[in-house]
A and B are shown apart, each in its own frame.
Chain A
């Protein structure tokens, strides 16, 4: 474990609690994932997985506790202003959801370029096209999302998530609605691209097929309850200690 601690922290959570309407919808006492690690967050539907990803993605402010991603304190970032959180989300996080997160009026290539543009980054057509080519989407550059198959849409959505070279890739139920072959392919692609980009990958799922592939960093109990103590993957205690209890793959 001492060797792991030298690695830059990927994701570290300490005493995170999210309330909605006076009810605790998410409580994560501790979680630590090393940079570049690939982990699963498991739990049944409605246990707060999406809420956790929303916090990590900077979609929700950190209400209580401390969350750092790649050394950046998200709570401090939110206090800097909404714009800082917008840019963090756009530039450092790649989000892949159950629904392909694509702009319907734009073609495949423009979706990638729009992601660069809206993140305030230089529009790099060459990089976007190279990325599409690597994902075997080169021939679909000028298609609209609705003209593509479900699997193709997900691949485009992945390309869109990768285009700004994020340090953290968050996948929310990426295998839902996919058959075994497609699910396996999607997960392999996700893992491969994340490794290639050197990004930390967190996959939130209730799908057993995902558990089979990734080590579980956090197992959540239903209805936003506290995560089961003793489940492999729940981070070691210690505020802000970016420790990864599991050996890295």
Chain B
């Protein structure tokens, strides 16, 4: 016989109450854990995709839209900018590097991005097979694209105009796949990369003479430029200078992603509040369970006093019971939370969307677990205090 065994005997004596209380704690904590893991991984992904990009320069419009289109490839770009802007940016000594992107076409829903090999380095992408594009109409495809479309080195495909599937095909200009990228877990997995020239060639008609060719070349455009600053001073001056121009707009991914997360954050906070509410109800359930136990066990508590247990012992026993209920719930809640995220991650992986893993752990979960435990302990305080005051006389009903 030991205190834990005594505790276990009481928990098992009322399986339904115990189960209900444990489940409430578990579900409350699981909700908070799921919200935490999903937002954390989403943020990590947003930040990783934006790594190395200090500024996105594109056509006038919504800065958030520009960043969504240029960094995360989630929105359509606001418009195009002249090719000279790229040269102008590269000439600026505040700019360390500038990578152009040309958007507008897609292949089976995957975006075809006209760019330069520097874009691969920006995302830390390496080749799994083949080589990097060297000439127009050559393409390197992301891991996800290769897996879903079956494209590999040597394969040919035709782009579709527009970013959604089902647009008119550029039938006269097929691409040739020269390389496949290794999975990065980032946005590059879902892109088809090709030199800028491919986009121009696909969209320009065949020039009839040299003069027309020069005109076409002079009119060439790109969609946006990913800029990395040369020095911190650039952050203060460069965006303002660009935004003062007539056609260009500069947007900071860091600033825009913070703004985006603030917008989404309202919903996330709502979910967190819901989890906290369930936890509060769970604490109430701990209180009710113990309070009920108090009246059920008045004689037994007095009997324990009779058998030598001090009031402090009874206080400890009830407190431990509340903590044990919560602790089991906490362990179960962590398991359910991580399990749910992992299950969702696998399901999403099957559909080729966001990558989520339940094997992630945020240190704030310790705080949540400790908070839930503390809540259970506080809920147990009053019943425990009342238990400690059980009069000895209750053991022996007066004859």
Contact = CB atoms under 8 A, between A and B. Distances in A.
Interface of A: 45-46, 49-51, 53-54, 57, 59-60, 82-83, 86-87, 89-91, 95, 97-99, 101-106, 110, 113-120, 123, 172-173
Contacts of B13: 104-105
Contacts of B300: 103-105
Given A119-B307, A119-B308, A46 B399 contact: yes
13 contacts: A49-B399, A50-B398, A51-B398, A53-B396, A59-B392, A60-B393, A90-B306, A90-B308, A114-B307, A115-B307, A117-B6, A118-B308, A118-B309
B1 A101 contact: no
B396 to A, nearest CB: 6
Contact of A98 (B392, B393, B399): B399
A227 B188 CA distance: 99
Nearest to A97: B396
Contact of B395 (A59, A115, A120): A59
Given A101-B395, A103-B303, A173-B399, A110 B308 contact: no
A50 B393 CA distance: 10
B397 to A, nearest CB: 7
Given A50-B396, A173-B399, A117 B2 contact: yes
Contacts of B351: none
Nearest to B304: A118
The 8 lowest CB-CB distance pairs between A and B, nearest first, are A90-B308, A113-B1, A119-B308, A105-B13, A118-B307, A117-B1, A105-B9, A118-B308
B313 interface: yes
B190 interface: no
Contacts of B10: 105
A86 B9 contact: no
B317 to A, nearest CB: 10
Nearest to A117: B1
A52 B5 CA distance: 35
Given A54-B393, A117-B2, A86 B308 contact: yes
Interface string B297-334: 00010011111111101000000000000000000000
B303 A101 contact: yes
A60 B6 CA distance: 26
Of the listed residues B1, B2, B10, the one surrounded by the most CB atoms of chain A closer than 10 A to its CB is B1
Contacts of A120: 308
Contacts of B393: 54, 59-60
Given A105-B10, A110-B5, A117-B1, A87 B308 contact: yes
Interface of B: 1-3, 5-6, 9-10, 12-13, 300, 303-311, 313, 392-393, 395-399
A173 B397 CA distance: 12
B396 A59 contact: yes
Nearest to A45: B399
A120 B312 CA distance: 14
Given A59-B392, A105-B13, A119-B308, 9 more contacts: A49-B399, A83-B310, A86-B310, A105-B300, A116-B1, A117-B1, A117-B6, A118-B309, A172-B396
Nearest to B5: A110
Contacts of A46: 399
B399 A123 contact: no
Nearest to B11: A105
Contacts of A114: 1, 6, 304, 307
A99 B9 CA distance: 21
Of the listed residues B307, B393, B398, the one surrounded by the most CB atoms of chain A closer than 10 A to its CB is B307
Contacts of A99: 397
Of the listed residues B3, B6, B303, B304, the one surrounded by the most CB atoms of chain A closer than 10 A to its CB is B303
Of the listed residues A46, A57, A103, the one surrounded by the most CB atoms of chain B closer than 10 A to its CB is A103
A197 to B, nearest CB: 18
Contacts of A119: 307-308
Nearest to B398: A50
Contact of A123 (B1, B9, B304): B1
Nearest to B12: A105
Contacts of B12: 105
A105 B1 CA distance: 13
Contact of B1 (A50, A89, A102, A110): A110
Contacts of A105: 9-10, 12-13, 300
B307 A106 contact: no
Given A103-B304, A118-B304, A86 B309 contact: yes
Nearest to A119: B308
B200 to A, nearest CB: 82
